[in-house]
Structure 1
Amino acid sequence: MTRGLFISFEGIDGAGKSTHIDRVAQLFRQAGRTVVLTREPGGTPLSEKLRELVLHEPMDALTEALLMFAARREHLVQVIEPALARGDVVLCDRFTDATFAYQGGGRGFDWQVLAQLERMVQQLPITDPTAAHALPAAHTPQAAHAQQAGHIPQACHTREGGYPSLRQPELTVWFDLDPQIAAQRLASARVPDKFESQPAAFFAAVRAGYAKRQAEMPDRFARIDAAQSMDAVGMDVSLVVTEWLKRAAA
């Protein structure tokens, strides 16, 4: 059975990342892979409702972070983990890095609290504890099959520093863009949500949050200069994904 792949696409509003996700999906489909296109916050009916609250309702930073991780947990349990277990390619428009960038960088919320929430929500193995007659993940027939095929960990392995293994994208494509350029692109866009309407200084802090996150996990980040033309960005993205697949297969 083919191994599932998880790729996320990150960047400030106006960076143009969403335009290129469909191109990456086409690359995988041409290779015969099943692709799941999803987004955060969102991806499930419940998570989409939480998305509307986060994007449009005023709230303090902790409430915002908790709602983001609640939506993420639902997304993981209902969409991402089942897709990876099937061997699908999951392409996600933003994931946890965005929470660190927007809530941690832009809002100035405590980075360590976000890290605690990340460990709580994304610790492997991820299962639905409310499922009828739920068994530990390692003892379900589906999990046993997936383990034999090499799709999910056989145990919650610990990383360096004693922290548990977390569900993270294997590749994160970061569309890096100067906030002033992003603001010009957004000026003629749709009616902005509460994040898109923030001043350039906010997006400068978000950009710095992404850079900090990349410094913490450089092996899975690929930075794209999003100030280039759309065609040039598209070529860079295709090259990054293709080269990453070659390394992953080696």
Structure 2
Amino acid sequence: MTGPGFPLETHSRFITLEGGEGAGKTTVLEALCEALRAQGLEVVRTREPGGTPLAEMIRSLLLDPAHEPPAPETELLLVFAARAQHVRETIAPALARGAWVISDRFTDSSYAYQGGGRGLDAAFIGELERRAVGLRPGLTLLLDIDVGQGRERARGRDQAPGGGGPDRIERERDEFFQRVRAAYRARAAAEPARFRVIDASQPAQAVADAAVTQLRAWQEREA
């Protein structure tokens, strides 16, 4: 429920990808963008934290393990500072001109990581969502994968040449990611009209195909 004077707008051309570590969001993101561009549509591909020069600087503060570890509340507020900038400078202008926007993570990640993982109050996160963001995706694809399998994939990616190693969040313990996954699944169960849960333990191409199928079904529904 939105607070007085702070409505949340849901936009049908705004699609988000969510999931834990190693879920394969990058591959799915590319497939979704290709599917939309093949229809002659403008697509803005973006990510969180990030999506603008200032938001990318905040991302570096949040994820670089060389920096001072932020308190949970500091982490949450920095994420929302980046998100507020992201919405105003990138997402909202793109939607206003008729483009589709696909974002690797959005506010659901705060409910999962800072809410489920860090134990911060969901009501506090919801208040920030209403006051600082004001926007919700029409469709959210949750790439769900067992924590152990996902982390093994992520380790392989980080150890590959040019992988760069794990960031500060990726260094958390399995118990943290179990709480993150549980929070994601709870949100998907509570909002079945917006969420589509995809089994991300499948081969990458199968996951991408399933995501594109969900996108096309969404387009038909919203046409």
User: Which structure exhibits the higher relative contact order, with contacts defined as CA atoms closer than 8 Å and separated by 6 or more residues?
Assistant: 2
Write out aligned runs for 1:230-245 (5 A).
230-245=204-219
User: Distance between the aligned counterparts of 1:47 and 1:13, measured in 2?
Assistant: 21
Q: Which structure has the bigger radius of gyration?
A: 1
Q: Does 1:192 align with 2:183?
A: no
Write out aligned runs for 1:15-26 (5 A).
15-26=23-34
Aligned to 1:65: 76
2:138 to 159, 162, 170: 170
User: Distance between the aligned counterparts of 2:12 and 2:143, measured in 1?
Assistant: 23
User: Distance between the aligned counterparts of 2:26 and 2:119, measured in 1?
Assistant: 25
Query: Which TM-score applies when normalising by structure 2?
Result: 0.88
Q: Does 1:122 align with 2:133?
A: yes
Q: Does 1:228 align with 2:196?
A: no
Runs of 4+ in 1 over 3 A off after TM superposition: none
Aligned to 2:22: 14
User: Distance between the aligned counterparts of 2:220 and 2:171, measured in 1?
Assistant: 40
User: Distance between the aligned counterparts of 2:137 and 2:122, measured in 1?
Assistant: 19
RMSD: 1.3
Displacement of 1:4 after TM fit?
Answer: 7.1
Aligned to 1:39: 47
Displacement of 1:90 after TM fit?
Answer: 0.3
Query: Which TM-score applies when normalising by structure 1?
Result: 0.79
Q: What per-residue deviation string (whole Å, max 9, x for no partner) do you get for residues 43-69 of structure 1?
A: 000000001111123011110100011
User: Distance between the aligned counterparts of 1:9 and 1:186, measured in 2?
Assistant: 17
Aligned to 2:57: 49
Where does structure 2 lack aligned partners over 5 or more consecutive residues?
Answer: 1-10, 159-164
Displacement of 1:218 after TM fit?
Answer: 2.0
Write out aligned runs for 1:107-146 (5 A).
107-123=118-134
Asked if structure 2 preserves the Cα contact closer than 8 Å seen for 1:8 and 1:169, the reply is yes
| Number of aligned positions between the proteins | 204
Where does structure 1 lack aligned partners over 5 or more consecutive residues?
Answer: 124-166
Larger % of strand: which?
Answer: 2
